[in-house]
Amino acid sequence: MFSKKKQSLDITPENPVFYVCYLGKVKTDRPNGKGCTAEPTKKIWAARESIPDRKLRKVSLTVTPEGMHMKEVEPLQKGTEPVDEFFKIQNVSYCMADLELPKVFSWITGTPGGSKEDLFCHAVLCSKKQKAQAMVMVLTHQFSAAFRTWKQDANRQERKSSLKHSRKESKEKVVMRVPKPADGQNNNQGGSTPSSPSTAPSLESVQSGMAELRADDSSGSEKNGQVPVSSVQTGLDMKEAAMNPEVQAFMQGDKSEKDVEQNDD
C-alpha cells in the first residue's frame, strides 16, 4: 500500500520517458512483498552477463497514469522481433530499484484474478542508480494519480447508485403513506398537498456505500476483475530517496535524456 506520509516530488506535467536497456523477464511466484524481485532479478542479471553491452536492447520506458509503455529505440537486424509492450497500471504489483544491483529497475506484472503462471518479473538497466530510484518515484506518483482517478470514479458511481436507490425507496414510502380517499372525499382536503418524494440520498445509504468502498480499497479485493491500483508496492525508502540531491536533480532534469552508458559507480 502507499505510505500515508506525504512526499514532496517535482514531477513535470508531461509523461516522463526513460531511456534504458531491457534485460529481459522471468517467471515468478510472488506478486509483491519485501524481496520479491531479488531472486528473479539475479536470474535475469546472470543471463545478461553473457551478452555484450553493445547488444543490449535499448528501449524507451514511458510512464503514464494508465501504465508503462516499453518500446525499442534502435533499429534491429532482420528477423528480430522489436520490443513493444504496454503494461497496464492495474497489472503492476511491485517495483524496485535493486539493492545489490542499484542501477537495475525491476517490476512485477500479472493479470488481476489470474494465476501465478501469469506473474513475470521484468528488469531494465539504467545508466545511474539515481535514474533507477527516480523511476520508482515517478511510477509511484503515476500510481497515486491513477488511484485518485479510480477512487473518484468509484465514488461517482456509488453516489449515482445511492441516489437511484433513495429515489425508488422514497416513492415507495409515499405511496404507502397516502391513504386512499373515501368516495366523494376531496383528495386535497384542507388545502394540503401530499409532499413530493425526496430526491436526496439517505445519509445511511451513502455511509454504507463509502464503507464498502473503503473496505474494497484497504483489502485490495478485486472488483469486476480489476484490482484497485493502490495495491502497488515499492521496495524503495521513498523519504530517503526524495531527500537525495542526486535523485532530486534527476527528477527536475531532462527525463528524455538518451543516456545509456553503463559506467560503474
| Element (DSSP H or E) covering residue 48 | helix 38-48
What confidence score (pLDDT) does residue 3 get? 36
What confidence score (pLDDT) does residue 20 get? 94
Q: Is residue 78 part of a domain?
A: yes
The two counts, helices (H) then strands (E), for the chain are 5, 8
- Characterize 55-74 residue by residue with b for buried, 16 or more Cβ atoms within 10 angstroms of its Cβ, and e for exposed: ebbbbbbbbebebbbbebee
User: Given pLDDT bands bounded at 50, 70 and 90, which one contains residue 26?
Assistant: very high
Bridge partners of 109? 92, 120
Domain of residue 63 covers 17-146+231-252
Q: Is residue 9 part of a domain?
A: no
47-56, 159-168, 178-187: the lowest-pLDDT one = 178-187
Q: Parallel, antiparallel, or unpaired for β 92-97 and 233-234?
A: parallel
**Nearest Cα residue to 98 out of 38, 39, 56, 48:** 38
Q: Is the pLDDT of residue 142 over 50?
A: yes
* Count of domains forming the chain: 1
**Nearest Cα residue to 108 out of 27, 218, 5:** 27
Q: What is the domain-level CATH number for residue 88?
A: 2.30.29.30
Q: Is residue 100 part of a domain?
A: yes
Q: Is residue 112 part of a domain?
A: yes
Q: Is residue 11 part of a domain?
A: no
pLDDT tens-digit map of 125-138: 999 999 998 888 88
What confidence score (pLDDT) does residue 105 get? 94
User: Given pLDDT bands bounded at 50, 70 and 90, which one contains residue 23?
Assistant: very high
Q: Is residue 236 part of a domain?
A: yes
User: Given pLDDT bands bounded at 50, 70 and 90, which one contains residue 221?
Assistant: very low
pLDDT tens-digit map of 194-216: 444 433 333 333 333 333 333 44
Q: Is residue 36 part of a domain?
A: yes
Residue 104 has which C-alpha cell?
537495475
pLDDT mean over 26-47? 92
pLDDT tens-digit map of 63-102: 888 889 999 998 777 777 888 999 998 888 888 888 899 9
